[in-house]
Amino acid sequence: MSIARQLKDINNDAGAFVADVLSDDISRDDQIVFALRLVRLAERIKQRADSTAGMVIEGGVVDVGGSGQPALSAGAVEPADHPGPAVDD
């Protein structure tokens, strides 16, 4: 949730940042502060990704109400028939 909150806050401020950059009305310090916010968010996302390396998430893709639009299900639609663990011969 922290990542989502940071991303929302940055998105809320991005328009004003871009407008100030385009009009050249933004101070060097304000540019650095915004850049550091982006860096902190990127670091949090990377840390999260690194901590979930090797994680297996079960799920499936289903057609929502015949709309032709795929959606991810929260879990496998049908139990998967997984083979047993690999055995060294």
Q: Determine contact, residues 77/85, Cβ cutoff 8 Å.
A: no
pTM for this model (two decimals): 0.57
Condensed to tens digits (0 to 9), the pLDDT of residues 17-64 reads 999 999 999 999 999 999 999 999 999 999 998 887 666 666 676 666
Instruction: Give the contacts of 69 (CB within 8 A, at least 6 positions apart).
Output: 63
Instruction: Specify the pLDDT at position 52.
Output: 79
Task: Tell me the C-alpha distance between 68 and 25, whole Å.
Answer: 47
Residue 86's SS3 state is coil
Instruction: Specify the pLDDT at position 1.
Output: 87
Task: Tell me the C-alpha distance between 20 and 3, whole Å.
Answer: 25
